[in-house]
Amino acid sequence: MKTRVDIIDNRTGEPVAAELFDEVTVEHFIEAQQEWRPIVLKAARQLASRGSRDLVPQHFHWDWTVKAPELGVLANTFYGIRYDKKLQGLMKLETVGEFCRCRLPEQADRSLVYVDYVEVAPWNLKTLMVALGEKPLYSPIGSRLIEAAVLKSKEEDCKGRIGLHSLPITEQFYRQACRMTPVGRDSAKQNLLWLEYTPEQAENFLTGVRP
Protein backbone atom coordinates (compact mmCIF):
# COMPACT_ATOMS: atom_id res chain seq x y z
CA MET A 1 0.00 0.00 0.00
CA LYS A 2 1.21 3.49 -0.84
CA THR A 3 -0.84 6.58 -0.34
CA ARG A 4 -0.25 10.29 -0.52
CA VAL A 5 -0.15 12.22 2.74
CA ASP A 6 0.47 15.95 2.85
CA ILE A 7 3.02 17.26 5.32
CA ILE A 8 4.24 20.78 5.86
CA ASP A 9 7.69 21.86 4.79
CA ASN A 10 8.55 24.24 7.64
CA ARG A 11 10.99 26.17 5.47
CA THR A 12 8.17 27.43 3.26
CA GLY A 13 5.14 26.77 5.43
CA GLU A 14 3.54 25.02 2.47
CA PRO A 15 2.16 21.48 2.18
CA VAL A 16 4.16 18.94 0.20
CA ALA A 17 3.10 15.47 -0.95
CA ALA A 18 4.80 12.72 1.06
CA GLU A 19 4.14 9.01 0.79
CA LEU A 20 2.72 6.74 3.48
CA PHE A 21 3.59 3.08 2.82
CA ASP A 22 3.22 -0.21 4.62
CA GLU A 23 5.82 -2.35 2.83
CA VAL A 24 8.51 -1.71 5.39
CA THR A 25 11.65 -3.82 5.00
CA VAL A 26 14.83 -4.42 6.93
CA GLU A 27 16.52 -1.84 4.73
CA HIS A 28 14.21 0.81 6.19
CA PHE A 29 15.29 -0.13 9.73
CA ILE A 30 18.91 0.09 8.66
CA GLU A 31 18.27 3.42 6.94
CA ALA A 32 16.63 4.79 10.08
CA GLN A 33 19.51 3.59 12.22
CA GLN A 34 22.19 4.93 9.89
CA GLU A 35 20.55 8.27 9.12
CA TRP A 36 18.80 9.07 12.38
CA ARG A 37 21.03 7.73 15.10
CA PRO A 38 24.08 9.99 14.59
CA ILE A 39 21.87 13.07 14.77
CA VAL A 40 20.00 11.79 17.83
CA LEU A 41 23.31 11.06 19.58
CA LYS A 42 24.71 14.48 18.71
CA ALA A 43 21.60 16.27 19.94
CA ALA A 44 21.44 14.07 23.06
CA ARG A 45 25.01 15.01 23.98
CA GLN A 46 24.25 18.71 23.41
CA LEU A 47 21.20 18.53 25.63
CA ALA A 48 23.00 16.53 28.30
CA SER A 49 25.94 18.97 28.31
CA ARG A 50 23.53 21.84 28.94
CA GLY A 51 22.09 20.00 31.89
CA SER A 52 18.82 19.36 30.06
CA ARG A 53 18.83 15.67 30.92
CA ASP A 54 15.05 15.58 31.18
CA LEU A 55 14.88 16.62 27.55
CA VAL A 56 17.29 13.92 26.41
CA PRO A 57 15.44 11.65 24.02
CA GLN A 58 15.13 8.21 25.50
CA HIS A 59 15.78 6.99 22.05
CA PHE A 60 17.06 4.08 20.40
CA HIS A 61 19.72 1.88 19.25
CA TRP A 62 17.75 -0.46 17.06
CA ASP A 63 19.21 -3.84 16.58
CA TRP A 64 17.64 -4.52 13.23
CA THR A 65 18.56 -8.19 13.42
CA VAL A 66 16.06 -8.39 16.30
CA LYS A 67 13.48 -6.28 14.48
CA ALA A 68 13.76 -8.19 11.18
CA PRO A 69 11.76 -11.28 12.30
CA GLU A 70 8.88 -8.99 13.30
CA LEU A 71 8.36 -8.12 9.64
CA GLY A 72 6.99 -11.48 8.55
CA VAL A 73 4.38 -11.70 11.29
CA LEU A 74 0.83 -10.87 10.18
CA ALA A 75 -0.08 -9.55 13.60
CA ASN A 76 2.31 -6.67 12.97
CA THR A 77 1.69 -3.81 10.59
CA PHE A 78 4.41 -1.33 9.81
CA TYR A 79 4.09 2.11 8.28
CA GLY A 80 6.69 4.48 6.98
CA ILE A 81 6.51 8.01 5.67
CA ARG A 82 8.90 9.00 2.93
CA TYR A 83 9.62 12.40 1.51
CA ASP A 84 12.55 13.83 -0.40
CA LYS A 85 13.96 10.28 -0.72
CA LYS A 86 14.32 10.00 3.04
CA LEU A 87 12.42 8.16 5.73
CA GLN A 88 10.61 10.75 7.82
CA GLY A 89 8.87 8.44 10.29
CA LEU A 90 8.33 4.79 11.14
CA MET A 91 5.64 3.00 13.13
CA LYS A 92 4.85 -0.52 14.23
CA LEU A 93 1.31 -1.62 15.10
CA GLU A 94 0.06 -4.86 16.59
CA THR A 95 -3.40 -6.06 15.72
CA VAL A 96 -3.37 -9.00 18.15
CA GLY A 97 -1.44 -9.63 21.34
CA GLU A 98 -1.50 -8.97 25.05
CA PHE A 99 -1.82 -5.20 24.63
CA CYS A 100 -4.66 -5.28 22.10
CA ARG A 101 -7.35 -4.91 24.74
CA CYS A 102 -9.06 -1.72 25.82
CA ARG A 103 -8.56 -0.61 29.41
CA LEU A 104 -10.98 2.31 29.56
CA PRO A 105 -13.86 1.01 31.71
CA GLU A 106 -16.49 1.99 29.16
CA GLN A 107 -14.85 -0.24 26.53
CA ALA A 108 -12.98 -2.71 28.70
CA ASP A 109 -11.60 -5.82 26.92
CA ARG A 110 -12.72 -4.71 23.48
CA SER A 111 -10.22 -5.07 20.65
CA LEU A 112 -7.92 -2.23 19.79
CA VAL A 113 -4.84 -1.77 17.65
CA TYR A 114 -1.71 -1.35 19.75
CA VAL A 115 0.93 1.19 18.76
CA ASP A 116 4.17 -0.55 19.65
CA TYR A 117 6.45 2.19 18.44
CA VAL A 118 6.42 5.48 16.62
CA GLU A 119 9.61 7.20 15.62
CA VAL A 120 9.99 10.49 13.83
CA ALA A 121 13.22 11.41 12.06
CA PRO A 122 15.26 13.64 14.37
CA TRP A 123 15.43 16.47 11.85
CA ASN A 124 11.68 16.83 12.31
CA LEU A 125 11.78 17.20 16.10
CA LYS A 126 12.04 20.77 17.35
CA THR A 127 13.75 20.04 20.68
CA LEU A 128 16.54 18.10 18.98
CA MET A 129 17.01 20.55 16.12
CA VAL A 130 17.08 23.59 18.39
CA ALA A 131 19.81 21.86 20.43
CA LEU A 132 21.80 21.67 17.20
CA GLY A 133 21.02 25.27 16.27
CA GLU A 134 18.66 24.30 13.48
CA LYS A 135 14.93 24.19 12.73
CA PRO A 136 12.72 21.12 12.30
CA LEU A 137 12.08 20.29 8.66
CA TYR A 138 8.68 18.64 8.26
CA SER A 139 5.51 18.25 10.32
CA PRO A 140 3.18 16.80 11.52
CA ILE A 141 4.80 13.39 11.05
CA GLY A 142 3.67 11.96 14.40
CA SER A 143 0.06 12.96 13.75
CA ARG A 144 0.14 11.39 10.30
CA LEU A 145 1.35 8.13 11.79
CA ILE A 146 -1.31 8.16 14.52
CA GLU A 147 -3.87 8.91 11.83
CA ALA A 148 -2.64 5.82 9.94
CA ALA A 149 -2.99 3.77 13.14
CA VAL A 150 -6.60 4.90 13.57
CA LEU A 151 -7.41 4.12 9.94
CA LYS A 152 -5.85 0.68 10.34
CA SER A 153 -7.97 0.15 13.45
CA LYS A 154 -11.09 0.94 11.43
CA GLU A 155 -9.94 -1.44 8.71
CA GLU A 156 -9.58 -4.15 11.38
CA ASP A 157 -13.08 -3.44 12.59
CA CYS A 158 -11.79 -2.04 15.87
CA LYS A 159 -13.75 1.18 15.23
CA GLY A 160 -10.69 3.42 15.42
CA ARG A 161 -9.67 2.27 18.91
CA ILE A 162 -5.93 2.40 19.46
CA GLY A 163 -3.83 2.13 22.61
CA LEU A 164 -0.22 2.73 23.53
CA HIS A 165 2.31 3.16 26.31
CA SER A 166 3.88 6.60 26.32
CA LEU A 167 7.29 7.64 27.54
CA PRO A 168 7.10 10.52 30.04
CA ILE A 169 8.70 12.80 27.50
CA THR A 170 6.05 12.05 24.87
CA GLU A 171 2.95 12.25 27.06
CA GLN A 172 2.35 15.80 25.92
CA PHE A 173 2.08 14.67 22.31
CA TYR A 174 -0.51 11.99 23.01
CA ARG A 175 -2.50 13.97 25.57
CA GLN A 176 -2.57 17.31 23.80
CA ALA A 177 -1.79 16.91 20.12
CA CYS A 178 -3.68 13.62 19.75
CA ARG A 179 -6.18 14.14 22.60
CA MET A 180 -5.99 10.53 23.75
CA THR A 181 -7.40 9.55 27.14
CA PRO A 182 -4.80 8.73 29.78
CA VAL A 183 -5.99 5.63 31.60
CA GLY A 184 -3.26 4.88 34.12
CA ARG A 185 0.34 3.82 34.62
CA ASP A 186 1.21 0.24 33.75
CA SER A 187 3.33 -1.36 36.45
CA ALA A 188 4.04 -4.23 34.05
CA LYS A 189 5.64 -1.83 31.58
CA GLN A 190 8.04 0.38 33.55
CA ASN A 191 5.10 2.43 34.87
CA LEU A 192 4.54 3.99 31.47
CA LEU A 193 1.29 5.83 30.94
CA TRP A 194 -1.35 3.93 28.97
CA LEU A 195 -3.49 6.07 26.65
CA GLU A 196 -6.40 5.02 24.51
CA TYR A 197 -9.01 6.25 22.03
CA THR A 198 -12.71 5.58 22.10
CA PRO A 199 -14.28 5.41 18.62
CA GLU A 200 -15.64 8.95 19.10
CA GLN A 201 -12.25 10.36 20.08
CA ALA A 202 -10.62 8.60 17.13
CA GLU A 203 -13.17 10.12 14.78
CA ASN A 204 -12.63 13.57 16.28
CA PHE A 205 -8.90 13.24 15.76
CA LEU A 206 -9.37 12.22 12.14
CA THR A 207 -11.70 15.08 11.36
CA GLY A 208 -10.10 17.73 13.55
CA VAL A 209 -13.21 18.23 15.66
CA ARG A 210 -12.39 19.45 19.18
CA PRO A 211 -15.39 18.88 21.48
Partner 1 sequence: MADKRTMTLNLTDQEMRLLEDLSARKDVSKTALLRQALRLYQMVEARLSRGEKLFFEDEEKKKAELMVV
Partner 2 sequence: MKPNSDREWLKKQAALEDNCFVSVGGLVMAVEDLEQQTQKVSAARQAFVSLVNLSRREHKLTWEQFSQKLDVDLAELIGIENDENYMPAPRTVTKIAQFIHVPAEKLFVLSGLARARDIHFQEAALRFAARSQPVEELTSEEHEALKEYVKFLCER
Site for partner 1 contains 110 (CB under 8 A): yes
Candidate ranges 71-79, 100-108, 167-175; the one touching partner 2 (CB under 8 A): 167-175
For partner 2, give the closer residue by CB, 60 or 73: 60
110's contact among partner 1, partner 2, none, with CB below 5 to 8 A by partner kind, is partner 1
Q: Is 156 helix (H, G, I), strand (E, B) or coil?
A: coil
Q: In angstroms, what is the minimal distance from the CB of 102 to partner 1?
A: 9
151 binds partner 2 (CB under 8 A): yes
The span from the CA of 180 to the CA of 112, in Å, is 13
Which of 196, 124, 203 shows the shortest CA–CA distance to 166? 196
3-class secondary-structure state, position 135? coil
- CB-nearer residue toward partner 2: 29 or 102: 29
Report d(CA 49, CA 7) in Å as an integer: 33
Q: Coil, helix or strand for 186?
A: strand
Collapsing DSSP to helix, strand or coil, 126 comes out as: helix
What angle do the packed helices 141-155 and 199-207 form, to 10 degrees?
Answer: 130
Per CB under 8 A, contacts with partner 2 among 85-124 are 89, 92, 115-120
Which of 109, 187, 190, 208 forms a contact with partner 1 (CB under 8 A)?
A: 109
Per rule CB under 8 A, is residue 111 in the interface with partner 1? yes
Q: Where does this chain bind partner 1 (CB under 8 A)?
A: 1, 69, 72-75, 95-97, 100, 107, 109-111, 155-159
